[in-house]
Amino acid sequence: MAIDLQMTSWKRSLHRTFALMATVALVNVSLAGVVVAQEETSVPAWLQERLVERVMHRRDNGEMMQLVRPIAESVSDGVVGVICGGRPVSLGTVVARSSLHVGASVPTTDAYVITKRSELSNDPIRVRLRDGRMFPARVAAVRRRSDLALLVIERDSTGTLPMLRPVTLTSKVPTVGSFLISPDRTNRVIGLGVMGAGPRRVAYRGMLGVQLNSRASTAGAQVEQILPNSSASEAGLESGDRIIAINGQMQNNRDSVMSTLRMVFPGEIVQLTIVRDGDTKEVSAKMREAAIVQESENDARVNGARNIRLSGFEEALQHDTVLNPDQCGGPLLNSDGQVIGVNIARAGRVVSYALPSSLVTVEVSSMIAEAGGK
């Protein structure tokens, strides 16, 4: 009965909102810059009802978000914000040094944070906890293939280490069509999504943005054309440049250049040795996603902001949660509150990817071993 009354009150509130919007005079700005009020209009009752019903049946409406918030709170103190270079770049998921520490509040000497590797730079890293406190952190290990970085949280200026609660990773794979919840560091629900496909391989789609020609008489490959808004154009490459080495590795011909570039993930920087007008130069270029380089302006507006790297994953779950690029790296929950994956990329308007927990568990174990953890 209480729920029915709340829903009725909520619908009345929406009706009042639409009615208020309808009775406000519409204004236009004339060519002379004078604001002219037009006559008032009203929204018919049938249209108000349709708008109310549309909002009520949205999966991300306020009532639904409140309903699933307790699920997000099940990973309280298991999600942090990651700041690099003074700006938020991703979320981080707290993982345990050993299975003995899973699900309990532990000092950070017994926990690590995993996050999205390609969003980090060489700038100082800090993590922000649920209560807003900030602590310095450093990268202890990385995995290029899965785009994960393992962070160690260090003491702050007062010598304090925080208490965190590592999440429990489950190997359970959600069925297609099931609801998925993405929480942030404050236990707020970022979005409620639906499982679309997975687990599956997401092919690598990195691009330098050049058209190459191979001449038998010279080593390397000559640049014939440069795509606009590409890594090559941003790096200052010019038509006629000859690429003779990549990251210090000499290149014999066009095929070797292409083969070497295919091993570089989007977001990674390559050092190109080029010959221009007889002079040898060093040029740095950051590889970009082919999908972003080749899309139209209209597609870019529709897809919205996306991550630096959104492909090249050996195994990923696809869902339709709307994430911002800096909201990747956090846990992905099923309707039982189990962590079934870690969000790894915002790839399109209705496409986000998450690494399944089975893969994350393997990567975390190997990274902790590499970092010297037990």
The full set of domain ranges for the chain reads 2-57, 73-202+312-371, 206-289
Beta bridge partners of 149: 115, 142
- pLDDT per residue as tens digits for the range 20-52: 444 433 333 333 344 434 444 566 776 666 655
Rounded Cα distance between 267 and 198, Å, is 24
Cis check: omega of the bond before 356, within 30 degrees of 0: no
- pLDDT per residue as tens digits for the range 296-313: 777 777 777 888 898 999
What CATH number matches the domain at 206-289, 1.10.3720.10, 3.50.30.60, 2.30.42.10, 1.10.10.10? 2.30.42.10
Kindly report the pTM of this predicted structure: 0.77
- pLDDT per residue as tens digits for the range 96-109: 876 544 555 666 67
Q: How far apart are the first and last CA of the chain?
A: 54
Question: Angle, nearest 10°, between helix axes 62-72 and 2-23?
Answer: 130
pLDDT, residue 58, reads 56
What CATH number matches the domain at 73-202+312-371, 1.10.101.10, 2.40.10.120, 3.90.600.10, 3.30.43.10? 2.40.10.120
pLDDT, residue 104, reads 57
- pLDDT per residue as tens digits for the range 122-144: 999 999 999 999 999 999 999 99
Q: Do the two domains 73-202+312-371 and 206-289 of this chain adopt the same fold?
A: no
pLDDT, residue 177, reads 93
Q: Is 103 exposed, middle or buried (0-12, 13-18, 19+ CB in 10 A)?
A: middle
Question: In 3D, which of 60, 56, 77 has the Cα closest to residue 68?
Answer: 60
Instruction: Count the neighbouring beta carbons within 10 Å of the beta carbon of residue 271.
Output: 13
Residues of the chain with confidence (pLDDT) below 70: 1-43, 46-62, 98-108, 214-217, 373-374
